[in-house]
A and B are shown apart, each in its own frame.
Chain A
Amino acid sequence: SQQGEEDPQALSIQEGENATMNCSYKTSINNLQWYRQNSGRGLVHLILIRSNEREKHSGRLRVTLDTSKKSSSLLITASRAADTASYFCATDGSYSGAGSYQLTFGKGTKLSVIP
């Protein structure tokens, strides 16, 4: 079953505004990652936050993680039209039997930034 669930499903904002997307997950994780997908393309990694971290920054991106609530948020500050894309959270938990990592994605948030 899918681990992460993003909220909202779609978000439309004006250029220059901040965009916040949320992700909830069900079971314990090692790391949580955020990815971006431009229309019809593969996903591109944005940022990874470990289970023992609470906040992480990368350029205009800020990610928070609350393991007690099993939730994460991605904040994009001063959004640009080029930020228009779908954003996915992904969690990895050890696959018990094989010791490898199963990377599970949510359904994504579709962000539209209007110029």
Chain B
Amino acid sequence: DVKVTQSSRYLVKRTGEKVFLECVQDMDHENMFWYRQDPGLGLRLIYFSYDVKMKEKGDIPEGYSVSREKKERFSLILESASTNQTSMYLCASSPSRDPLEAFFGQGTRLTVV
């Protein structure tokens, strides 16, 4: 059974903290994605990666960075967490060729206080 696993289901952090959200996939997929989901705004792409050490900015990269040192792991980093980064964060992976179906993790609900 294919799996995308996010390290935490719920997370509470303080303003100014450095926050790491980890995502691991076991399907040998080339592509990995980080989205944030907010009510009324749907899913917005933060960053994606198409290979190890490769990354591309999505629609809302400000305040975030990513790391992909190994193919199976894609980390989202909030350098200095702020309250407007309180959100649901979703990680996904997909192959680079057909079929391009994406598999999602269960999500991390991050609250910054």
Contact = CB atoms under 8 A, between A and B. Distances in A.
Contacts of B40: 107
Given A98-B50, A104-B45, A48 B92 contact: no
Contacts of A44: 104
B21 interface: no
Q: How large is the interface on A (under 10, 10 to 19, 20 to 34, 35 or more residues)?
A: 20 to 34
A2 B59 contact: yes
Contacts, number: 83
Q: How large is the interface on B (under 10, 10 to 19, 20 to 34, 35 or more residues)?
A: 20 to 34
Contact of A42 (B58, B90, B101): B90
B22 interface: no
A115 interface: no
A41 B109 CA distance: 10
A61 interface: no
Interface stretch (A14-22, A63-71, A73-81, A87-95): A87-95
Contact of B56 (A35, A45, A95): A95
Contact of B101 (A33, A98, A104): A33
B43 A105 contact: yes
Given A43-B90, A98-B50, A100-B31, A105 B42 contact: yes
Given A100-B50, A106-B42, A42 B104 contact: yes
Contacts of A35: 102, 104
Nearest to A86: B42
Given A100-B30, A101-B100, A106-B42, A42 B106 contact: yes
Contacts of B88: 40
Interface string B49-72: 011001010110000000000000
Interface of B: 4, 30-31, 33, 35, 40-45, 48, 50-51, 54, 56, 58-59, 88, 90, 92, 94, 96, 99-107, 109
